[in-house]
Amino acid sequence: MQHYNHNDLLNMNARYRVQLMNSLSGFKSVNVIGTSNAEGKHNLAIFSSVFHLGSSPALVGFIMRPDSAARHTLGNIQQTEQYTINQVSESFWRKAHQTSARYLANESEFNQVDLTPDFINGVDAPFVKESRLKYALTLREIIPISLNDTQLIIGEITHIVCEKEAIKDDGYIDIESLDTVALSGLDSYHSTQRLSRISYAKPDKHSVDISLNGDIPDNNPVG
């Protein structure tokens, strides 16, 4: 087993450390965030830091990392207080990755990587038409994190657009059926294979396998 102590981390080659640290958290969701500025110019950027914050209200967060370059996504969200989060699937993950390139503010990533902006009534920010699961958010809070100059962006979900067949009877979204991809590190993309859905854990009984729709068979064996 390889062992790095704190001093090793502090003195590590910077690029090596970035790859190492970004790999530690394991598989991450991959999303592209769509925004527009006050003049209606569109922006699209890939993020692997999107996470669930709560269901009522329906809050989602993501981390904006520090950089000396202009952050078009953050600037647009601050201007309009609207944005979309679009899950990346196998059909366009290479195009999504390309949105991480530093295009100029007047260059729409939609045009540069050949993805299609899509809109619904009441939402000014663009969705990605090719995405099979996407949602719109209204900005609720931006929290600066002084430890590393990052910012936590918190939004409340206002619209969800998803292929109907992927939403099961109990509300579970079968993202694997949508060919959603995962990311490890900074640049390694993965398809997934479900092991199982399992029941809610309770101290007096073991969890059992349940169906995709949330049904628990009476004769399901304890694992």
Q: What is the DSSP string of the chain?
A: -----HHHHHTS-HHHHHHHHHHHT--EE-EEEEEE-TT--EEEEEES--EEEEETTEEEEEEE---SS--HHHHHHHHHSEEEEEE-BTTTHHHHHHTTS---TTS-HHHHHT--EE--TT--SPEETT-SEEEEEEEEEEEEETTTTEEEEEEEEEEEEE-GGGB-TTS-B-GGGGTB-EEETTTEEE------EEPPPBTTB---EE-TTS---TTPPP-
Angle, CA 121 vertex, CA 166 and CA 52 arms, to 5°: 45
Q: What is the pLDDT of residue 222?
A: 46
Number of domains comprising the chain:
2
Domain assignment present for 184: yes
* Rounded-to-integer distance, Cα 167 and Cα 133, Å: 10
Domain assignment present for 62: yes
Q: What is the CATH number for 42?
A: 2.30.110.10
Residues 167 and 214 grouped into a single domain = no
Residues 96 and 200 grouped into a single domain = no
Mean pLDDT of 178-194: 96
Domain assignment present for 103: yes
Q: What is the pTM of this model?
A: 0.92
Domain assignment present for 10: no
pLDDT band at 68 (very low <50, low <70, confident <90, very high): low
Conformational region of residue 214, where left means phi above 0, alpha means psi within -120 to 50, and beta covers everything else? left
* Rounded-to-integer distance, Cα 109 and Cα 101, Å: 9
Residues 39 and 119 grouped into a single domain = yes
Tens-digit pLDDT profile for residues 117-167 = 999 999 999 999 999 999 999 999 999 999 999 999 999 999 999 999 999
Residues 130 and 210 grouped into a single domain = no
Residues 211 and 126 grouped into a single domain = no
Domain assignment present for 4: no
Residues 180 and 198 grouped into a single domain = no
- Mean pLDDT of the residues in the chain: 93
Domain assignment present for 215: yes
Other CB atoms within 10 Å distance of the CB of residue 132: 19
Domain assignment present for 16: no
Nearest residue to 85 via CA among 151, 161, 167:
161
What are the tokens at 153? 């962006």
Task: Give the range among 44-48, 60-64, 102-106 with minimum mean pLDDT.
Answer: 102-106
Tell me the torsion sign for CA atoms 51, 57, 58, 61. Answer: negative
pLDDT band at 55 (very low <50, low <70, confident <90, very high): very high
Residues 155 and 205 grouped into a single domain = no
Residues 115 and 222 grouped into a single domain = no
Residues 137 and 206 grouped into a single domain = no
Residues of the domain holding 216: 194-223
Domain assignment present for 187: yes
Q: Would you call the peptide bond into 221 cis, given omega within 30 degrees of 0 as the criterion? A: no
